[in-house]
Chains A and B, each alone.
Chain A
Amino acid sequence: DTAVSQTPKYLVTQMGNDKSIKCEQNLGHDTMYWYKQDSKKFLKIMFSYNNKELIINETVPNRFSPKSPDKAHLNLHINSLELGDSAVYFCASSYEGARGRETQYFGPGTRLLVL
Chain B
Amino acid sequence: AQRVTQPEKLLSVFKGAPVELKCNYSYSGSPELFWYVQYSRQRLQLLLRHISRESIKGFTADLNKGETSFHLKKPFAQEEDSAMYYCALQGSSASKIIFGSGTRLSIRP
Show the binding face of A for B, using Cβ within 8 Å: 4, 33, 40-45, 48, 55-56, 90, 92, 96, 99-101, 103-109
What class of interface size applies to chain B in its complex with A?
A: 20 to 34
CA A56 to CA B94, docked complex, whole Å: 10
Main secondary structure of the interface of A (DSSP, over half): strand
B contact patch SS? strand
Report which B residues bind A (CB closer than 8 A).
32, 34, 36, 42-46, 49, 51, 84, 86, 90, 92-94, 96-99, 101-102, 104
Residue pair A104, B96 in contact (C-beta under 8 Å): no
Q: Give the chain B neighbours of A100 by CB distance below 8 A.
A: 32, 90, 92-94
- Structural contact, B32 and A107, CB atoms closer than 8 A: no
Q: Chain A's nearest CB lies how many Å from the CB of B43?
A: 5
In the complex where A99-B32, A104-B97 touch, is A43 in contact with B44 (Cβ < 8 A)?
yes
